[in-house]
Amino acid sequence: MDKEFLQVFSEVVRSQLAHKCDVELEGIGVFKVVHRKQFQQQYQDGRVVMMPPKDTIKFVADSKWTNGN
């Protein structure tokens, strides 16, 4: 693929995800923004740390790719 195309494509995907919009690639899957709530993390040494809320990106593959066809 053309390097310029890939650069523009990634900018468009990044922009849409920044606006919390799903990005669907037909036949491939969907990139989604998932909000994770604040939670407590306890370490083996007994420390308890409050983890802040954050948005993460999740990719869900199209069923075409997940059922082996």
* CATH code for the domain in which residue 40 is found: 4.10.520.10
Could you tell me which of 27, 51, 20 has the C-alpha nearest to residue 37?
Answer: 51
Average of per-residue pLDDT across 5-18: 92
Enclosing domain of residue 34: 3-66
SS3 category, 4: helix
Q: Is the pLDDT of residue 68 over 60?
A: no
pLDDT for the residue numbered 47: 95
Q: How many folded domains does the chain comprise?
A: 1
Q: CA dihedral defined by 55, 56, 61, 62, rounded to 10 degrees?
A: 10
pLDDT in tens, 12-56: 999 999 999 999 999 899 999 999 999 999 999 999 999 999 999
Contacts of residue 53, Cβ cutoff 8 Å, sequence gap at least 6: 35, 36, 37, 38
pTM for the predicted model, two decimal places: 0.67
Structure tokens belonging to residue 11: 């900018």
pLDDT for the residue numbered 27: 87
Q: Is the pLDDT of residue 58 over 60?
A: yes
